[in-house]
Structure 1
Amino acid sequence: MTDKYVIARLEEKGHRFEVLVDPDLALKVKEGKSVNVDELLVGDFIYKDARKGLKASPESLREVFKTDDIKQITLEIVKRGEIQLTAEQRRRFAEEKRKQVINLIAKNAVDPKTKLPIPQKRIELALEQARVSIDPFKPAESQIEEIVSKISRVIPIKIAKAYVSVRVPSEYASRVHKLLAQMGEIKRQSWMNDGSLLMEIEIPAGMQQELFDRVNGVTKGSAQIKIISVG
């Protein structure tokens, strides 16, 4: 069997259903993302044994899924069933999810003592030290809280928000406003007597340095940026 498609399998009410699917798109479905079902589905059949080419009966499909729509059934099998990945596919997906988790933690967490972001390499080492297992089939976002709790046993870390004030000259106001709206939630904004724009924004605490770098890049260093609080 080519690694361009894999078997998704669901067993329910004494029946086994299998369908051939694209592994990358199947993983996205598992994460709750929307995909093009025509691209997800390989072939036009629901099987009871895909390797033997034995098709599931229309009666069994209607009994379990209450429909005989192949696309709808395919989504249900992938969402509720198991994806039969090869060892290499599982390794690749696990590594990709690990990188996503590390990136998300770095953006959202800080050292509670210093209030400063934690380097990705330190987070990676903490994952190894705490022997954290990352589920390749669950969205990275849904795993962060539990993972941070586990690695907090080996490094000081917590999920936090940073409240930041940014004051920029009028000629950069529009561009910086758009940038900040993409990075976090603008809580307050007001025009000052000198024509500058003052904004207060809440961002994931690990993005403090990124905010400094990006705003200063746009304003050529003319912005006034101050961390009001982290917590």
Structure 2
Amino acid sequence: MSLKQPVSQVRLTNVAVVRLKRRGKRFELACYKNKVISWREGNEDDLDEVLQTSSVFTNVSKGVLAKKKDLVDAFKTEDEGAIVLEILKKGELQVSGRERQYQAENLFNEIAVIVSEKCVDPSTKRPFSVGIIERAMRDTIHYAVLPNKTAKVQAQSVIKQLQEHMSISRAQMRLQISVPSSKGKAVREKLREHVQQWEQEEWDPDFQATVLVDPGCFRIIDETLREATRGQATFEVLSLAVVEDNDEQLL
């Protein structure tokens, strides 16, 4: 005769557990591996792709479901959907040592790729290889990845730290600007301190310019154009990172 599993238990395997402690009790969610981080970074918005089940557990590995009274006492709401979201946002992702190392290595590489794509040697305008960036992160600044922060955010920190030890700068953006010719001179003067290079200019029928700017000036240029032309200006990004386009790269 087979034994029946208690209805308060749900056996789940091959899961990623998100755990949150509240008012002395432990609450857990059973999620799909690699989906929690994607959801937290905004790359995944379908909860069905993140959660193996919408139930809240006190112990996922044993399949023990949380009691409704404990949930209400801990989260001050009967809305289990809201409770799930709070655990998913604030809970700690439980992974094995091997999985943690694998994720850290992938994140380390992802950060290096972003830095390589966004930065150049200022003297040559050529990009650094991913290998060069990884060695600098590892041997020069001894960077340790932060599992709860995105690669993009950490890349910004890495760039600042690398700039203290090596010649590296953000690759410039190439923008195309168009404003009525009557406002061209005034706009050019206002943008002068923010533009690194004026590559091309035309004055008829409108003032059009192709310029290189530091990425950090993008918002300032946008606001300046809006204020100076009262919304009559247009501009578009032609290139997010301008680098020397040849086969030679720093090794």
| TM-score when normalising by structure 1 | 0.66
- Counterparts of 1:25-40 in structure 2, within 5 Å, are 25-40=35-50
- Counterparts of 1:50-89 in structure 2, within 5 Å, are 50-89=60-99
RMSD value, Cα:
3.6
Where does residue 220 of structure 1 map in the other structure?
none
Larger Rg: 2
- Counterparts of 1:66-145 in structure 2, within 5 Å, are 66-129=76-139, 130-145=141-156
Where does residue 209 of structure 1 map in the other structure?
243
Distance across 1 between alignment mates of 2:42 and 2:118 = 22
Q: Which runs of 5+ in 2 are unaligned?
A: 1-11, 177-197, 216-238, 247-251
Amino acid at match of 1:122: I
Distance across 1 between alignment mates of 2:175 and 2:69 = 63
Q: Which runs of 5+ in 1 are unaligned?
A: 167-186, 214-231
Deviations 1:133-153 (A, max 9, x none): 112331112112322233345
Distance across 2 between alignment mates of 1:142 and 1:70 = 32
Deviation, 1:37, is 0.9
Deviations 1:8-51 (A, max 9, x none): 10012222101101121111233344421122111242111222
Distance across 2 between alignment mates of 1:78 and 1:198 = 47
Deviation, 1:63, is 3.0
Percent identity, please.
26
> Which of 142, 148, 151 in structure 1 is aligned with 2:162?
151
Give the secondary structure class of the aligned counterpart of 2:156.
helix
CA contact (8 A) 1:10 1:77 kept: yes
Distance across 2 between alignment mates of 1:95 and 1:135 = 11
Amino acid at match of 2:107: K
CA contact (8 A) 2:26 2:58 kept: yes
Amino acid at match of 2:242: Q
Structure 1 residue 9 and structure 2 residue 43: aligned?
no
Deviation, 1:82, is 0.8
Deviation, 1:102, is 1.1
Give the secondary structure class of the aligned counterpart of 1:51.
coil
CA contact (8 A) 2:19 2:92 kept: yes
Give the secondary structure class of the aligned counterpart of 2:34.
helix
Deviates more, 1:6-15 or 1:144-153: 144-153
- Counterparts of 1:172-211 in structure 2, within 5 Å, are 199-200=210-211, 202=213, 207-209=241-243
CA contact (8 A) 1:162 1:202 kept: yes
Distance across 2 between alignment mates of 1:67 and 1:83 = 23
